[in-house]
Chains A and B, each alone.
Chain A
């Protein structure tokens, strides 16, 4: 015997509508009073799914997106690395013209960072090249 769903209050319906529009935007299927997001699995029915089901489906989608991007840890480490590259570039450029080059050979990544009048610093990553150059020039840039 199937269980009858509890009737929803007007406030709950309003909140579900707001959530549906905020989450799915123009992709929301809202014809005939429906509130469905079928852009990708798992499909979300903002009228019939329970709040726990909606949250679980959103988490599943979020995890799939994170995994597709390489995982949470990779995203965090990418951002931290880029923030450090940005910090060193800012501090070096404040003093001198900075020259960067991807000087990689097949199967041997090598990046060069230098300023005018100095020999280039070669390292296997762009960040290491910038770190070495900043250390050589005694630029901290905190």
Chain B
């Protein structure tokens, strides 16, 4: 089982649960935020995708707001079937195996640590 990403809303740990979220007969397990004040709770199978996309969205928003100019995001397929993602604003910043890592690098460069 892959590790659960942190909560896309408050950043707290996520707890897996065996309690079904919906009464749909599927018995889908859930991912619930450990922070009792946070309402975040989704199907476990959807959680990491949702958390990754929320982080990509947050990074893109921050970078576009911080750096005037073009934010370019690209993907380069490699011969071995893998792919490299690049994100650059004024100049290329690193190369990463995931879009999220490429954006994290660029955010550090543009917005500071």
Q: Are B73 and A102 in contact (CB under 8 A)?
A: no
A111 near B: Cβ within 8 Å?
Answer: yes
- C-alpha gap A94/B50 in the complex (Å): 17
State the Cβ distance, B104 to closest chain A Cβ, in Å: 13
State the Cβ distance, B78 to closest chain A Cβ, in Å: 15
Given A76-B9, A97-B74, A111-B64, is A89 in contact with B57 using a C-beta cutoff of 8 Å? Answer: yes
- C-alpha gap A76/B74 in the complex (Å): 29
In A55-111, the 8 Å CB interface with B consists of 58-59, 62, 66, 72, 75-76, 79, 81-87, 89-90, 93-94, 97-102, 111
With an 8 Å Cβ cutoff, the count of chain B residues facing the other chain is 29
Q: Are B53 and A86 in contact (CB under 8 A)?
A: yes
Q: Are B58 and A82 in contact (CB under 8 A)?
A: yes
B71 near A: Cβ within 8 Å?
Answer: yes
Q: Are B61 and A85 in contact (CB under 8 A)?
A: yes
In B51-101, the 8 Å CB interface with A consists of 52-58, 60-61, 64-65, 68-75, 85, 99
Given A93-B73, A101-B69, is A82 in contact with B57 using a C-beta cutoff of 8 Å? Answer: yes
State the Cβ distance, A117 to closest chain B Cβ, in Å: 14
A94's partner among B54, B56, B68, B75 (CB-CB below 8 A) is B75
A126 near B: Cβ within 8 Å?
Answer: yes
B60's partner among A72, A76, A86, A94 (CB-CB below 8 A) is A86
Q: Are B99 and A93 in contact (CB under 8 A)?
A: yes
- C-alpha gap A90/B103 in the complex (Å): 12
List residues of B whose CB falls within 8 A of some A CB. 8-10, 36-37, 39-40, 50, 52-58, 60-61, 64-65, 68-75, 85, 99
List residues of A whose CB falls within 8 A of some B CB. 58-59, 62, 66, 72, 75-76, 79, 81-87, 89-90, 93-94, 97-102, 111, 126
Which 5 pairs across A and B sit closest by C-beta, in order of nearness?
A86-B53, A82-B57, A85-B57, A86-B56, A62-B37
A-B contact pairs, 23 of them (CB 8 A): A75-B9, A75-B10, A82-B53, A82-B55, A83-B53, A83-B54, A84-B57, A85-B57, A85-B60, A86-B52, A86-B53, A86-B54, A86-B56, A89-B57, A89-B99, A90-B53, A93-B73, A93-B74, A93-B85, A93-B99, A97-B75, A100-B73, A111-B64
